[in-house]
Amino acid sequence: MINSSLETIKETAENIISSVDGSYNNYYVLFSGGKDSLCVLDLVAKNLKSDFKVVYIEIPSNTHPLCNEYAHYIVEDYHGLDLVHLKSEDDNFFELLKRYGYPSCIGYHSKWCLNRFKNIPLKKYRKLKYAVGFSGMKIADSSNRKRYLSERFSEGVKINKKTYTFWGAITALPIIHFSKTDVWNYIKIDKLPVNPCYELIGNSGNCVICPYNTFSTMQKIKENAPLFFQEWLEAHETIKANLVYEKRKGKIWITNCGLWHVFRRFDKYYHTLKTDLAKWGIK
C-alpha cells in the first residue's frame, strides 16, 4: 500500500513534469546512477510525452566501473532509452585534488569538481541549448540547498536567464519535495533496480571520493574499493605536505587544502583509517 504523503508528492512531481512538457523540442534527464536521479528518470519516463535524452557524466579516475555499467543497464536495457555518456578526457580527479584541495558544490571558488567534471563536458556536448533539463535536487538535501531552491525555483521549475546555455532553457525538479525516505520508498514500491555501489561502498559510485562522504562510507571504500582508497590516501598525504600556515590578525590560518572544514573532517578519517597504511606501501 502506497503511503498517502508519498502519493501526494508523487502527484506533485508528475504535475511538474507535465507543466514543462511541450515547452521546447529538446528534453534531457541528468542521470548520475544515484537514487535521486533514478527516481527522476523513472518519473520522467512514465509521465513525459515528449522524447528525451538521458545524459550521464563519468568522473575520470573517481567513478566506480560498476556505476558506469549500472547507468548503461538502467537506461538502455531497463528503460529502453539511449544514453549519452560524457567524460572529460583532459583531467584526473585525484591529480586535481592534490592541486586544489577538497572541493564543494556550494562555494563558487571551491566547486572546481563541478566545474571541471560536469560543466565542461556539458558545455562541449553543445546539444542541450534551448532544452528542458530534469534534475534530482531536493529541498531536503541540505539547508544550503533548501535556501538555493527556495530562492531560484518556483513550483519546482526555473526558467534560466540565458536559454541557450549548456544547462538549457528550463530546469525542472520533479522530486524537489521528496525526502530521502520518500525516494527509497518510491524505488522500493516501483521495484526499481538499485545501483550495486550503494551496498558495496555506501554511495552511488559516480563520485567515489566525495566531500560529503561519512566515515562509514570511507570504511566501505577502504574494504571494498581499495584502489580508490589508495588514490585518496596518496592525495591526502600530498595535501597535508603542502599546507600553508598564515598569520592573520594574531591567528594562524591553514590554507592550500581546499575547504578547511572538509579537509579537517577527511584528516580525521585519515588518522583513524591509516592503521593499514603499510598494506598499501605508504609510510
pTM (predicted TM-score): 0.90
Give DSSP secondary structure letters for the chain: ---HHHHHHHHHHHHHHHHHTTS-S-EEEEE-SSHHHHHHHHHHHHH--S--EEEEEE-TTTS-HHHHHHHHIIIIIIS---EEEEE-SS--HHHHHHHH-B--SSSGGG-HHHIIIIIHHHHHH---TT-EEE----GGG-HHHHHHHHHH-BTTEEE-SSTTSTT-SEEE-TTTT--HHHHHHHHHHTTPPPPTHHHHHSS-STTSS-TT--HHHHHHHHHH-HHHHHHHHHHHHHHHHT-EEEEETTEEEEESSBSHHHHHHHHHHHHHHGGGGGGGT--
End-to-end CA distance of the chain: 55
Could you tell me the maximum CA-CA distance found in the chain, to the nearest angstrom? Answer: 62
- Architecture of the structural domain at 4-198: 3-Layer(aba) Sandwich (3.40)
pLDDT per residue over 101-148, tens digit each?
A: 999 755 555 688 888 899 889 888 888 878 999 999 999 988 888 888
Cell 546512477, located at residue: 33
Do the beta carbons of residue 187 and residue 39 sit within 8 Å?
Answer: yes
56 grid coordinates: 550521464
pLDDT per residue over 60-114, tens digit each?
A: 999 999 999 999 999 999 999 999 999 998 899 999 999 999 997 555 556 888 8
Highest mean pLDDT (candidates 36-45, 121-130, 157-166): 36-45
How many Cα neighbours within 13 Å face the side chain of 272?
Answer: 12
Query: Does residue 252 have a pLDDT over 50?
Result: yes
97 grid coordinates: 585534488
pLDDT attached to residue 109 = 52
| pLDDT mean across residues, the chain | 90
Which of 20-24, 116-120, 250-254, 260-264 is predicted least confidently? 250-254
pLDDT attached to residue 58 = 97
CATH 3.40.50.620 placement within the chain? 4-198
